[in-house]
Chain A
Amino acid sequence: MGLLSKKDTNLILDPLADNNPITIQVLGICSALAITAELKASIVMAVAVMFVLGLGNVVISLMRNIIPSKIRIIVQLIVVAALVIIVDQVLKAFAYELSKTLSVFVGLIITNCIIMGRFEAFALANGPWRSFLDGIGNSLGYGIILIIVGFFRELLGSGTLLGFPVLGDPIAKTGLYATGYENNGFMIIPPAALIVVGIIIWVQRSRNPALVEDN
């Protein structure tokens, strides 16, 4: 990539796998459990977090030299809150049904540990361009797990993907349902997301034993 140096590329690629905010740092679990019953909601959540984190990181990075360190948490909160309200209003205006599905969880992006974590750990110490890349990278890492979990939960729990009945019609018994297959009600409830995330963590760590902590 001519646009990005190797160091910059790592800012985007690291959080996708070996430094993933959900599976390695175990942050942002709350929303990963709550909204991943449908793939669509997972994607919208991922995009919303990408917008908030990418832009928020830039804003904090630009202000990093003028924020008094004693009140930096308040300043960070105001920046996130402003961005989240923009996302919330946009969703309410253009995708009202979806914003009802996501309900309070859009608002709760404010408390998503990944966002405050990146502000504190990265944006306060780096320039706006690198902060932007870091924000995009981390939100991609968050989003990719959300989409994987959402994919399996919607496919196994409702037999649909993005609302399309990919496995057939459960009521008219077509497709896979004609053979006696049934949707798995367990995948609809939030504990299933915990187990799916757990399995992803398990697979990732057994592929790369360097990630396993000593104790």
Chain B
Amino acid sequence: MSDKRLTFKKRLHILKHHYRGKKMAPAFNAIHTFLFAPDETTHSGSHVRSADDLKRTMNTVIMALVPVLIFSMFNAGYQHFSAINGFPENFSVMEHFLTWDNFWIGIIKVIPLLVVSYGVGLLIEFIFAVIKGHEVEEGYLVTGMLVPLIVPIDTPLWMLAIAVIFGVVIGKEVFGGTGMNILNPALTIRAFLFFAYPTWMSGDKVWVYEARERAEQIAEGATNIDAISGETVLGFLAQGKGAEMDTIYSTWDMFWGFIPGSVGETPTFLILLGGLFLVFSKIASWRIMLSAVLGSLVMGLIFNGVVDQGWITGNSPFYGLMSFDFWKHLLVGGLAFGIVYMATDPVTGAQTNRGKWIYGFLIGFMSVMIRVFNPAYPEGVFLAILLMNVFAPTIDHYIVQGNIKKRLKRLTNATIYPKDSEGEAKELKAETV
């Protein structure tokens, strides 16, 4: 092969060698190893060969997210057209949902969110890798995919960019980068958006494409367009409009995901499949998922019980959400999405097995509790997970200390039989040894 007809791989390789030891080296290394297998081999010592590296782990999670992303692109269009024309009478998936019109809305609204999330996030990762002189880490690959799925569809791109900068720098890089962060970066981004721009994150105008734009035009005096809106199931319940909600969305709608909400949080069925995929590929912890589901069911049952006892009546502001069937909490809002993809983050979650049960249970428990009692916004999954992220090291600490104590006690109570010089067994208490 002549020099002029180098392959892309060869060019990257030459570039990489050219920059070896220089400031920009991590950036070129990252591009090279992202696209191709590295050409370096270890020459000495024994080493474990395993395909199960960080990149593979991240890619598995992304694979579990792709169906959700594709569904959310169709749903973006479906919610938009349904808000304009009303929900179709005899709904058929092929005719009303999987259409090019729907997908086109997804392309123009969801793809830009994805591009901004990855573009800005990876840029920050590259900058920090170059400044700190380490290799670019894969940590952002999953975060970048999660972020567009957990924000409302009409989130302005510049807001998302600022939130991503904040989330990656303050949520991750200040702690030392991938693997060192206390808080889940995707949820840090979501929380930043929620506190910084609350009007873009709540209400009935943000979940459907164009709803906010139309409301603004009408406020300015436009008369040739109709106002559209799409309230989430939880929004309806928080306002005590549960009966009205029942006429619009059936439980199956909630399960399949044909409801308004953050871009990718609605398709409970696909999230369930993704969760099973992650459990069977041993990427995510089934203990966290199961205990979080149990936690939310327990809290839901408590609320249902309170309503059944008649302690909360119809004129209470909490009646709508408290009387919501306990198991339906899993079908609406971000609970399923949060449990499967974010509570199971191996970096920010609990590490010990018993710790995972406690951690997951409290996530489910508090998600439903915050959801019901949050006065401004009927959702709390991201707050619950962030809170438990903070407590995860404490939980692990006490689990480990408890284990040490238990074993120490077992050891000091044990009786051992060392042989003396004549070969006879002698009884000794361990503490005296």
Contacts and interface: CB of A to CB of B under 8 A. Distances in A.
Interface residues of A, number: 11
A186 B196 contact: yes
Contacts of B200: 182
A195 B166 CA distance: 10
B174 A185 contact: no
A182 B197 CA distance: 8
B158 interface: yes
Contacts, number: 22
Interface in A159-204: 180-182, 184-187, 189, 195, 198, 202
A184 B197 contact: yes
Interface string B187-213: 000001001111110000000000000
B195 A186 contact: yes
Contacts of A202: 174
B276 interface: no
A189 B159 contact: no
Contact of B198 (A185, A195, A198): A185
B195 A180 contact: no
Given A195-B170, A202-B174, A185 B196 contact: yes
B197 A180 contact: no
B159 A182 contact: yes
Contact of B195 (A181, A185, A198): A185
Interface in A53-93: none
Contacts of A184: 162, 196-197
Contacts of B159: 182
B377 to A, nearest CB: 13
B192 A186 contact: yes
Contacts of A182: 159, 197, 199-200
B196 A180 contact: no
B156 interface: yes
A180 B158 CA distance: 9
B197 A185 contact: yes
A185 B195 CA distance: 6
A182 B199 CA distance: 10
A189 B191 CA distance: 13
B199 to A, nearest CB: 8
B170 A189 contact: no
Contacts of B156: 180
Contacts of B198: 185
A189 B195 contact: yes
A196 to B, nearest CB: 11
Contacts of B170: 195
Contacts of A195: 170
Nearest to A180: B156
Contacts of A198: 174
A180 B155 CA distance: 12
A180 B159 CA distance: 10
Contacts of A185: 195-198
A186 B159 CA distance: 12
A189 B156 CA distance: 22
B401 to A, nearest CB: 22
A72 to B, nearest CB: 40
A198 B159 CA distance: 22
Interface in B136-193: 156, 158-159, 162, 170, 174, 192
Nearest to B157: A180
Contacts of B196: 184-187
22 contacts: A180-B156, A180-B158, A181-B158, A182-B159, A182-B197, A182-B199, A182-B200, A184-B162, A184-B196, A184-B197, A185-B195, A185-B196, A185-B197, A185-B198, A186-B192, A186-B195, A186-B196, A187-B196, A189-B195, A195-B170, A198-B174, A202-B174
Given A180-B156, A182-B199, A182-B200, 18 more contacts: A180-B158, A181-B158, A182-B159, A182-B197, A184-B162, A184-B196, A184-B197, A185-B195, A185-B196, A185-B197, A185-B198, A186-B192, A186-B195, A187-B196, A189-B195, A195-B170, A198-B174, A202-B174
Interface of B: 156, 158-159, 162, 170, 174, 192, 195-200
